[in-house]
Structure 1
Amino acid sequence: MGFRWNLRRLMASQDMFQTTDLVPKLAEYGIHLSREQVYRLVTQEPQRLSMDTLAALCGILHCTPADLIEVVEVRAQVVKPAASGESTAGAVAPPARRTHVRRPEGL
């Protein structure tokens, strides 16, 4: 599963085209972020987001968290290693190497 961060699109629907437009509006909700932090919040998908910031964004943009964060299905094939006893069709074993075990002197 993945997600799509729709903050920029929702800002545009409210005629907010600059990230600095968001700084004073967040401050009205008690969220004090620097211009750089707001820029990253708008232009990048956040890995962590406080509930206060999420609630403030929803209040500013008159939306729900589901409008901001859209869950998308990521179709990627997962390759599982074969369990013992299962067929490993197509798998190539590494070449065998002759090894020599040497004991330390004096044992």
Structure 2
Amino acid sequence: MQWNLRMRAAQAGIWKSTEMRRRLADAGLQISAGKMSALWTGTPTSIRLDDLDVICAVLGCTPAELLICEPEQVAARRPQQARTAAATGALPPRLGRHTSIPPA
């Protein structure tokens, strides 16, 4: 996921994290300077849904505009065997009692 807070804030005319923090406080969300800095400069590892709701309300956007999916990043995390199988359309054999390979 790509965190798009600064771009959405710029589109709303907010150029500094202090201004964003003030607007969030006006909307009822008190964020520490450290947390605001982390949200402003990087991609958060987690965010409360209530906080995301207020951020979206302040910026006039949806969560989908703040969190941009990166399917190529997901594909790169797959194990090599799964990537090869996905590229060729072949299914890898299942392990265990119920195998997907027919008996010879």
User: What RMSD in Å do the two structures reach over aligned CA positions?
Assistant: 1.6
Unmatched runs of 5 consecutive residues or more in structure 2: 82-92, 94-104
Q: Give runs of ≥4 in structure 1 deviating > 6 Å.
A: none
**TM-score, with structure 1 as normaliser:** 0.67
How many Å apart are 1:20 and its aligned residue?
Answer: 0.5
Task: Measure the CA separation in 2 of the matches of 1:30 and 1:6.
Answer: 22
2:39 maps to what in 1?
A: 41
Greater C-alpha Rg = 1
**TM-score, with structure 2 as normaliser:** 0.69
Greater helix fraction, Structure 1 or Structure 2: 2
State the number of aligned residues.
Answer: 79
Identity %: 29
1:27 maps to what in 2?
A: 25
Q: What are the equivalent positions in structure 2 for 1:1-107 lying under 5 Å apart?
A: 3-73=1-71, 74=73, 75-76=75-76, 78-80=79-81
